[in-house]
Amino acid sequence: MAIAKSTTRNFKNLIGGKWVSAHSRKTFENRNPAKNRDLVGIFPSSDTRDVSDAVAAAKEAFKTWRLVPAPKRAEILFRAGGILTERKEQYARDMTREMGKVLEETRGDVQEAIDTAFYMAGEGRRMFGNTTPSELQNKFAMSVRMPVGVCGMITPWNFPMAIPSWKLLPAIVCGNTCVIKPAQATPLSTYNLVQALLDAGLPAGVVNIVSGSGSQVGMPIVEHPDVTAISLTGSSEVGRAVGMAAAAGFKPCSLELGGKNAMIVMDDANLDLAVEGALWGAFGTTGQRCTATSRILIHKKIARRFTEQLVERARKLRIGNGLEKGVQVGPQVSQQQVETSAMYVKVAIDEGAKLLTGGKRLQGKAYADGYFFAPTIFGGVKPSMRIAREEVFGPVLSLLEFDNFEHALAIANDVDYGLSAAIYTRDVNQAYRAMRDIDTGIVYINAPTIGAEVHLPFGGVKQTGNGHREGGSGALDFYTTWKSVYVDYSDRLQRAQIDTGE
């Protein structure tokens, strides 16, 4: 088709600073989920051989990159932040085209990469270790951060630039080299981010991109003996497989996985504000955020009013192509995601939940060539239902009622995930108890479950991850390893724990 051909680009893998085809010569297509006939790009379908080439390039580059002073490495990040700022609109448009979320949100996604670039560039002149007194005379002790080596990274499609930036930028400033596999649904935004780094002067081989599937590229990266650390953002199912494979090689492995995030609305809440937050939390990014508000727990005293208002507002949301003005909710990313939403609608109805709005794929000419699913709300949901426990990753929201604060907390915590939570209340005592007692990595007071900032730790508990954090100083902890250094300037043998006493 004419539109498709004129704007289609052929992408290659980036290995050792060169753009190369996959050994297999096979490719896959990246299409626009709002307008399927729009082909965004053609990308290589790589395999183990391409991974080996990329890891070899990263290993070679590590020899010199680790010796570049961190403030010099940081200068490249500063420049990349500036380049991304200049290209923000173009990269946001590319992202909406490949992924579907509305332009306002893809601008935010690029901004997150910009923020991360500047924040991590600042770390180039910090990256503090410790000095501490030695127990022996004329001896000096310190701990210093060292890079870990070649880092393997596997990313999902829902934050196609922000998530790669959370991994690549701290890794680079700490002196590591990287092999990244972007999600097949959204590789272009990773290419755009890396292009900004190359244009900022990043040396060859420091970042390598191998595109392709999870099984053909992702797992070979995890299993490659020269890859020394692994970072994955994705589903808990893939996280378990990746974590086990990494454990077999004794590799540090950071897993950022799913969520089933609750918003608690107390009877003293500002209801208009809570409705506003619920709409944004549940239907922003078409519900395809790991932090999406997928359960709203409502105090029974205000349940009717809140529900009526929310359903009315959800019905009015404008669904469509995220590049068009006025559209508030874009398509889902793929046929598979739409099918998952439809499957959960059926499961919820079978289990006795009440469909209040939505519940189906959108029909009609405007929606025919994309993956549009109506914003969906279920009432009368019980904590034991699958719709209240499993991650849907689509615009499907469950409403549950509670009697009192303790009851709300118990429901909020009774799931296998622990990423984000929110509470709307004006009672400071309840707010503080929620901050302490909700079992998640992130808690919002009077704000929805989404909206993380890059300089705070990001991640969760239970099946949401394995204890690491992205963002903030947690990223430095993952991408460096501690080395303890003792300098003895006494000119004699001094034995710790033995020569310390009189």
Q: Which residues are catalytic?
A: 256, 290
Tokens of 238: 């893939």
Nearer to Mg ion, 185 or 421 (CB): 185
Instruction: State the nearest-atom distance from the C-beta of 57 to ligand NAP, in Å.
Output: 20
Q: Which of ligand NAP, Mg ion, none interacts with 471 (beta carbon under 5 to 8 A by kind)? A: none
Residue nearest to Mg ion (CB): 98
- Examine residue 50 and tell whether it contacts Mg ion (CB under 5 A): no
Residue whose C-alpha is closest to residue 337's, from 103, 156, 188: 156
Instruction: State the nearest-atom distance from the C-beta of 465 to ligand NAP, in Å.
Output: 6
Distance CA 241, CA 247 (A): 10
Amino acid at 229: A
Of these, 110, 117, 127, 154, which contacts ligand NAP (CB under 6 A)?
Answer: 154
- Examine residue 218 and tell whether it contacts ligand NAP (CB under 6 A): yes
Q: Which of Mg ion, ligand NAP, none interacts with 213 (beta carbon under 5 to 8 A by kind)? A: ligand NAP
- Whether 102 and 455 have beta carbons less than 8 Å apart is answered as no
Please give the residues from 259 up to 318 whose contact with Mg ion meets the rule CB under 5 A: none
Q: Which residues pair with 39 in a beta bridge?
A: 31
Q: Which of ligand NAP, Mg ion, none interacts with 434 (beta carbon under 5 to 8 A by kind)? A: none
Please give the residues from 381 up to 410 whose contact with ligand NAP meets the rule CB under 6 A: 391, 393
- Examine residue 161 and tell whether it contacts ligand NAP (CB under 6 A): no
Instruction: State the nearest-atom distance from the C-beta of 268 to Mg ion, in Å.
Output: 44
Collapse the DSSP code of 483 into the 3-class scheme (helix H, G, I; strand E, B; otherwise coil) and give the result: strand
| Total of chain residues touching ligand NAP, rule CB under 6 A | 29
CA distances from 280 to 288, 395, 403, 426 (A): 12, 11, 25, 20
Amino acid at 35: K
Q: Which stretch binds ligand NAP (CB under 6 A): 33-41, 214-222, 350-358, 376-384?
A: 214-222
Nearer to ligand NAP, 166 or 306 (CB): 166
Strands 177-181 and 150-154: parallel
- Whether 206 and 214 have beta carbons less than 8 Å apart is answered as no
What value, to the nearest 5°, has the Cα angle with vertex 211 and ends 208 and 212?
Answer: 150
Instruction: State the nearest-atom distance from the C-beta of 78 to Mg ion, in Å.
Output: 31
Residue nearest to ligand NAP (CB): 214
Of these, 38, 53, 94, 98, which contacts Mg ion (CB under 5 A)?
Answer: 98
H or E element in which residue 27 lies: strand 27-32
Of these, 51, 153, 183, 408, which contacts ligand NAP (CB under 6 A)?
Answer: 183
- Examine residue 45 and tell whether it contacts ligand NAP (CB under 6 A): no
- Examine residue 259 and tell whether it contacts ligand NAP (CB under 6 A): yes
- Whether 375 and 329 have beta carbons less than 8 Å apart is answered as yes
H or E element in which residue 78 lies: helix 70-86
Instruction: State the nearest-atom distance from the C-beta of 419 to ligand NAP, in Å.
Output: 6
What's the number of CA atoms in the CB half-sphere (13 Å) around residue 137?
Answer: 7
- Examine residue 30 and tell whether it contacts Mg ion (CB under 5 A): yes
Instruction: State the nearest-atom distance from the C-beta of 27 to ligand NAP, in Å.
Output: 14
Distance CA 442, CA 458 (A): 7
- Whether 22 and 217 have beta carbons less than 8 Å apart is answered as no
The residues of the shown chain that bind Mg ion, judged by CB under 5 A, are 30, 98, 185
